Amino acid sequence: MNAVRVRFAPSPTGYLHIGGARTALFNWLFARHHSGTFVLRVEDTDRARNTEEFAAAIYEGLRWLGLNWDEGPHVGGNFGPYFQSQRNEIYERYLKKLQDAGHIFEDQGALRFRSPREHVVVDDLVCGKIDFDLSNEQREFRMSFVGKIIFQTRRSTSSFIARSGRRRRTLRTSPSF
């Protein structure tokens, strides 16, 4: 059986909160129960909001909880770097391997659906006609695949299920910027 490896990947955009502490605790307990490894990897890709103060506070919070990490910042390990922003070279290397093996295909582009600022009526196959009042804000629908698309609503909100072949995605509308 392979050794257990779990990670906790906080973002240093704020202080450690109860949800993060719970996740770290459960992962730490799972690793300890199975004589495994608890890895701390910092998700520092949000450069605009990351601060050293928040990173230090997260480390301090984990230590205060008694959750020492086996690999990560300040302790090292065999699978670093332990900051997400420093891992691009690793991702590029594996992307190249996938490309060389023929497991990557070119992106077909994205389809964008923009609805007008008015009432839109969708003739749903299951629910019948559903009216969306979009007069207060413009909504944008995005899809990253091309093919036959069937919109089905779960409830009369702006959340849709899109199906193309065997793939199924939940699309949510978002205001245009």
Q: Each residue of 107-123: pLDDT tens digit?
A: 666 555 565 667 777 78
Do 55 and 12 reside in the same domain of the chain? yes
pLDDT at position 124 over 70:
yes
129 and 80 in one domain? no
Nearest to 10 by CA among 50, 38, 37, 41: 41
Same domain, 86 and 153: no
Task: Examine the domain organization and report whether 37 and 95 are in the same domain.
Answer: yes
**Residue at 54 is within a domain:** yes
Confidence grade of residue 90 (pLDDT, cut at 50, 70, 90)? very high
Residue ending a domain, among 100, 132, 165, is 100
Note the pLDDT tens digit of each residue in 19-36: 999 999 999 999 999 999
Q: Which pLDDT belongs to residue 117?
A: 64
Name the residue range of residue 28's domain: 5-100
Name which of 132, 134, 114, 135 is nearest 124 in CA terms.
132
Confidence of residue 1 (pLDDT cuts 50, 70, 90): low
Is the Cβ–Cβ distance between 158 and 151 less than 8 Å? no
**Cα(13)–Cα(17) distance, integer angstroms:** 11
Q: Rounded CA gap, 35 and 161, in Å?
A: 42
pLDDT of residue 99: 86
